[in-house]
Structure 1
Amino acid sequence: MYNERQKEMIKYLSEVKFARAEQLSERFQVSLETVRRDLMVLEQGSSIRKVRGGAVYSNLRAKEMEFEKKMENNQQGKYAIARMAAEYINDGDAIAMNNGSTTLALAKCLQNSKTQLTVVTNSPDIALILSDNENNQIYLSSGYLRKHNKSLVGDMCNECLGNFKVDKTILSIDGISIQDGVTEYNTEEAATLRKMLEIGHTRMILCEFSKFSEVAFNKVCSADRIDYVFTDWNIPAREARAWNDIGVKVLSSPQHQLSALP
């Protein structure tokens, strides 16, 4: 049985997804040692997992979150990641982008900052945003439209994507870890992400640090198939170094960028 503080800790982590031990100590007015003891208890019987630097709310069997809710969560963090990733995209690049809350933020950042892009996407929303720049060429895949998150998927989509080769594949994902690789909740979405990775020369992942604790049902690829991961300031230096050791460059957005939206 959990005490009241531990119950409140579960509730808090379910909302923020990740918190440093120092944050929990300050929020609940207890010592770091007490936080560590609480997390050891919670890890045994709830969806709390200890990670380097703090704790995350994680549930392997969790259902896919509604896309609208994804867009509402941590908008400032998503745009900070997107602005950082935009610096690695050049005028004239050919890119593939899947539908996702962070890739949608990236599309808005690219809308007026880059030009002459050739974009292949399974997202009608991303296609519309980037088509506002008349110098861009936009290819929207065919396929079955998932109402759940407004993306095109299925055999027709993947066959369509197979007709292209791009400089950079840029993905928003559900889960990522060195041990389990990139994972996705929906089986059809996972198949589309695999195809997008296949057609890209450079492979880039955009995700908040909370995704580093998620392990979704469908494996997309192993960790070493990724070239870049763009994430937020919460990632511990040790975690970033571990990724660098397997050849994946991890870049984190500065915390001070969280205040500005495009």
Structure 2
Amino acid sequence: MNVAANKGGKALMKDDRLSAIRQHLYSHGFSHIQTIADAVGASLPTVRRDLLALEAEGAIVRTHGGARIADATGTEVAFELREQKNLAAKRAIADAAFEELVPKSTVFLDAGTTVLQLARRLRLEPMPLSIFTNCVTVAQVLMDVSDLRITLIGGQLRPENASMVGPIAESTLERLWFDQLFLGAGAIADDTCLYSLDEHEARVNELMLARSAKKALLVDSSKFGHRLTYRVAPLNSDLKIFTDHKLPIEWRARINNLGSSVTEAPYRESERR
């Protein structure tokens, strides 16, 4: 589908074209200049100028013969390797969850790698939001985006997840209330409970759920049927689940029996973003 299509069939204005290029690179990963030009309906010289402008903004990285979306500012430490696992599925889930965001609301984004993809999606298409997070990487991705007010809660830094945990983080969460929560999970076990590898992470996740009006779980299908050490909370009808189309059929039945809502996002196997 040509992302540059519009009602009048006219060429896109520059700002719209830049947005279309960002969206194309987000959806398709590295792309050659000719592919980008075809997608946005512009000439090669125009696209080259646009890519220079986007690179100057820090939005994309130009490489030999093409371009890709830029990584977050800074280094994502141990978080980086896990972010790349099942990346196409995570981005499809983030695309679906993005539609749930309500402008001018207060939103908590936790430190899950799928939630990070939602932050990257929001960077491409900002809206007025007050964002709270305990994830350093999420804060870095969004810190210079207009329309967003970012609050990174304090605490003890857990490098494995680039997250803030511990008594200070817990005390802060107990004094806050959020319109929406977007939460990741390390595992969803056969007892239909969420689990974490870390005791402190499990505790702050439990508090996030307790302090949020609307709750969304963003988790790829590989996390179902596994158990980690620390229990976070059970799945229930208050938790809206976003996963990918590979969710096992037996888990669909379990989720339906719990009265939970589940959205299964499709993605292409060959996708490399």
For 1:47-126, what aligned pairs fall within 5 Å after superposition? 66-126=78-138
For 1:17-32, what aligned pairs fall within 5 Å after superposition? none
Among candidates 220, 224, 249, match of residue 232 of structure 2: 220
Q: Give yes or no for the alignment of 1:128 onto 2:145.
A: no
Decide whether aligned partners of structure 1 residues 188 and 234 sit closer, same or farther in structure 2, where only a CA change above 3 A counts.
Answer: same
Give the conservation status (yes or no) of the 8 Å contact 2:244–2:267: yes
**What's the Cα RMSD here?**
1.8
Amino acid aligned to 1:243 = I
Take 1:203 and 1:177, find their aligned partners in 2: how far apart are those partners? 19
Take 2:262 and 2:189, find their aligned partners in 1: how far apart are those partners? 12
Take 1:133 and 1:147, find their aligned partners in 2: how far apart are those partners? 24
Partner-residue secondary structure (3-state), 1:241: helix
Amino acid aligned to 1:214 = H
Take 1:199 and 1:210, find their aligned partners in 2: how far apart are those partners? 27
Q: Give yes or no for the alignment of 1:170 onto 2:182.
A: yes
What is the match of residue 8 of structure 2? Answer: none
What are the ranges of 5 or more consecutive residues in structure 2 without an aligned counterpart?
Answer: 1-77
Deviation at 1:124, TM superposition (A): 1.5
Q: Give yes or no for the alignment of 1:249 onto 2:272.
A: no
Between 248-257 and 150-159, the greater mean CA deviation after superposition: 248-257
Q: Give yes or no for the alignment of 1:159 onto 2:159.
A: no
Deviation at 1:112, TM superposition (A): 2.8
Decide whether aligned partners of structure 1 residues 68 and 256 sit closer, same or farther in structure 2, where only a CA change above 3 A counts.
Answer: closer
Give the TM-score normalised by the residue count of structure 1. Answer: 0.70
Amino acid aligned to 2:176 = F
Give the conservation status (yes or no) of the 8 Å contact 2:190–2:226: no
Deviation string, structure 1 residues 135-190 (Cα, Å, up to 9, x no partner): 11111101001122211100001111222111111111101146241111100000
Give the conservation status (yes or no) of the 8 Å contact 1:168–1:200: yes
Aligned residues: 196
Take 1:123 and 1:203, find their aligned partners in 2: how far apart are those partners? 18
Deviation at 1:95, TM superposition (A): 0.9
Amino acid aligned to 2:164 = L
Decide whether aligned partners of structure 1 residues 243 and 180 sit closer, same or farther in structure 2, where only a CA change above 3 A counts.
Answer: closer
Give the TM-score normalised by the residue count of structure 2. Answer: 0.67
Amino acid aligned to 1:153 = V
Take 2:251 and 2:232, find their aligned partners in 1: how far apart are those partners? 21
Deviation at 1:216, TM superposition (A): 0.8
Amino acid aligned to 2:186 = D
